[in-house]
Structure 1
Amino acid sequence: MGKRTYKRLKGSHSFRQRLLLTTLFSIPIIIDEICADDMIHGLLHHEMSLLRLFETVSDDCVVEVNETGTRLKYKPGIIMGGKNLVHSCALTRSMGYYLGPLLVLGLFGKNSLSIRLKGVNNDPKDLSVDTIRNATLHILKRVGVPSEGLDLKIEAATPQGGGEVLLTVLNVQTLTAVQWVEEGMAKKIRGWTFSARVSSDFEHSMRFAARGIFNNLLPDVHIFNNHKSGPAAGK
């Protein structure tokens, strides 16, 4: 066998995208000078956690990081998927940071994927788990991903790392190209309210206020409640 050639990159920008694309195309990479000039240099906690996640869903994946965390040597393995997997996410980023690349890896794995993530549901930087469930998954169905076996269950809420979601993805052979250019008109509105460790009366007030606004636009409005209490309400 010939010597494996690594593609060399620099800096920490687009770290998730680099990691995802190099895994899909089986291109080993070396990234130098990762946050080398920052006060806190090297790979951050959530980036290291993302690497561990890629190792979890892949076979024969090799990750080498130097002592300072400023150099990463990554050889992607075979995306295997798997069932009953569990990953504890770093609390510095929400689970939306991990779900984005995980959805793509699950589609192109050797087997279907079922994985439980534990961490923070939402933060200001990433898509919330609710947005991914109610919007992103529906967009995937438009490009040929079957709805059977594609699901994101939110089983616990935040804050302080008490969130928990269960993602299931079926692998696909191909995706369907679409032309989606017309905006269309909104004909109905579906929504959810969320609350944890407070009285459910707060949710009733939220639903009443929201419907008071939306019903001025169109009549078909349904807003569902999602009240969490006890262990399901997070820490």
Structure 2
Amino acid sequence: MAPPIIFNSHVDFRMRLVLATLSGRAVKIEKIRSNDMEPGLKDYEVSFLRLLEAITNGSVIEISYTGTTVLYRPGLIVNGTYTHTCPLSRGIGYFIEPILLLAPFGKAPLKLILKGITSNGIDLGVDTIRTAIFPIYQKFGIDRQELKVVKRGSPPLGGGEITLHLPHVVLQPSTVHAAVKTPAISKLRGIAYSTRVSPASVNRIIEGARSVLSATGCETFIYSDVARGDESGKSPGFGVTLVAETKSGWCYTAESTGSAGEAPEDVGERAARALLEEIEIGGMVGRNQVKPLIVLMVLGKEDIGRVLLGRDVIDESIVRLLRDIKAIFGAEARIKENDNYDDEEQNSEEYILSIKGTGFVNASKKIK
């Protein structure tokens, strides 16, 4: 049995466990908040470990007495149907993100009912995942993903519920070649929601967003979702998710949630400005979409995949991810400046990320 790969600190905790599960390599994560006043794992990290244990078969998880060390020996991804209550310290999106990377490579389809906070301004909101993260997976041949919001839940008390259905089990993701130039935006979409507040708040959010986006001249349509009664969770709140779509199927996204005493118009304006900032960065994807994109490129066929990224997309967290991928899969990425310019308006602060796929094959998939 190969010795576990050793990592330090709680940073990238979920992604390291995901990479370990996909590769079948054991990992040992040490010094988890060892210098904090409250050392060890947080409740949401333990909750994620329980969810990971549920959808896999044969996984071994050993946690030290202080909670500062975790040894994880992954089993096979079997999926199935489960209900999981998420702690109120994090949003439901915290748990969906890593599960999306695991579910397509399981033995059977996955159906999850997750309960908790649907949008909290820290983790990706459920609307962002449905409208902006799912399209990334479709580029790799992983489709038919469904996310239904049964109840919306705002912080601090939550009360939300979503149904996540991931029926598409694949042997291997497709190779992506998207390194020509940044596509033009064709339309702007969004969804503004509210829970246990006046329905007028949603209209004010939409007005605030439109006041900023109107200057783009793009077709803009923002849906309204006013949760009422049992569907409105346990706490008042409101927010908006905005998506800029291109004709080729790529998109950029931004979201914003309201805080106590904040005007709904300010929430809409903040989300709209954040979306314009994502578009200005350039590349094929925004900052909250690039990690699953890179992981799926690594899992692809033994062919070189390429994608165009804006300079500001490549930050410290991306560098850490690439280092973890090299440690676990042995795959390296190459980043070079984009010199495929055909006009002066092309963004010069863009880079081409090239990764050779590892030829990963889903060993859990049933052979029909």
TM > 0.5: yes
Report if the CA contact (8 A) 1:23-1:76 is conserved.
Answer: yes
- Give the residue type in structure 2 aligned to 1:137: F
Which string of whole-angstrom CA distances, capped at 9 and with x for unpartnered residues, describes residues 4-37 of structure 1?
6333333322211111111111112222322111
Q: 1:219 to 1:43 in 2, by over 3 A?
A: closer
**Which deviates more from structure 2 when the two are superposed, residues 197-206 or residues 55-64?**
197-206
- Give the residue type in structure 1 aligned to 2:70: L
**Equivalent position of 2:224 in the other structure:** 225
* Structure-to-structure mapping, 1:44-193, within 5 angstroms: 44-83=42-81, 85-146=82-143, 148=144, 150-159=145-154, 160-169=157-166, 170-181=168-179, 182-193=181-192
Which string of whole-angstrom CA distances, capped at 9 and with x for unpartnered residues, describes residues 51-92 of structure 1?
001011111112121221112121111100113x11111221
* Structure-to-structure mapping, 1:1-16, within 5 angstroms: 3=1, 5-16=3-14
Report if the CA contact (8 A) 1:116-1:166 is conserved.
Answer: yes
User: Shift of residue 141 of structure 1?
Assistant: 0.8
Unpaired segments ≥5 residues, structure 2: 235-368
User: Shift of residue 131 of structure 1?
Assistant: 0.9
Q: 1:224 to 1:72 in 2, by over 3 A?
A: same
- Give the residue type in structure 2 aligned to 1:99: I
Q: Cα RMSD between the aligned structures?
A: 1.8
User: Shift of residue 213 of structure 1?
Assistant: 4.2
SS at 1:187 equivalent = strand
- Give the residue type in structure 2 aligned to 1:6: P
Runs (4 or more) in structure 1 with deviation over 6 Å come to: none
**Equivalent position of 2:248 in the other structure:** none
**Equivalent position of 1:22 in the other structure:** 20
CA distance in 1, matches of 2:214, 2:134: 27
Q: 1:107 to 1:73 in 2, by over 3 A?
A: same
* Structure-to-structure mapping, 1:185-204, within 5 angstroms: 185-204=184-203
Which string of whole-angstrom CA distances, capped at 9 and with x for unpartnered residues, describes residues 118-154 of structure 1?
11122333222111111000111112112x2x11112
Report if the CA contact (8 A) 2:127-2:191 is conserved.
Answer: no
Number of corresponding residues: 230
User: How does the TM-score come out when normalised to structure 1?
Assistant: 0.90
- Give the residue type in structure 2 aligned to 1:190: R
- Give the residue type in structure 2 aligned to 1:135: A
Report if the CA contact (8 A) 1:116-1:165 is conserved.
Answer: yes
Unpaired segments ≥5 residues, structure 1: none
Q: Give me the identity figure in percent.
A: 33
CA distance in 2, matches of 1:11, 1:27: 19
CA distance in 2, matches of 1:86, 1:33: 31
CA distance in 1, matches of 2:7, 2:202: 49
